[in-house]
Amino acid sequence: MTRLAQDGGNFSENTMHQRTAELEAIDLMILDLRTWHEEIRHKAAWKCCRKELDQLQKELIAYLETRKSEQLARQKP
Per-residue pLDDT reduced to its tens digit, 11-54: 566 666 777 899 999 999 999 999 999 999 999 999 999 999 99
**Structural domain that includes position 24:** 3-75
- Specify the pLDDT at position 16: 64
Q: Provide long-range contacts, Cβ within 8 A and 24+ apart, for 10-19.
A: 16/75, 19/71, 19/74, 19/75
Question: Does the model's pTM come out above 0.85?
Answer: no
Tally of domains in the chain: 1
The answer to whether the beta carbons of residues 63 and 33 sit under 8 Å apart is no
**pLDDT exceeds cutoff 60 at 3:** no
> Do 4 and 12 touch, CB atoms closer than 8 A?
yes
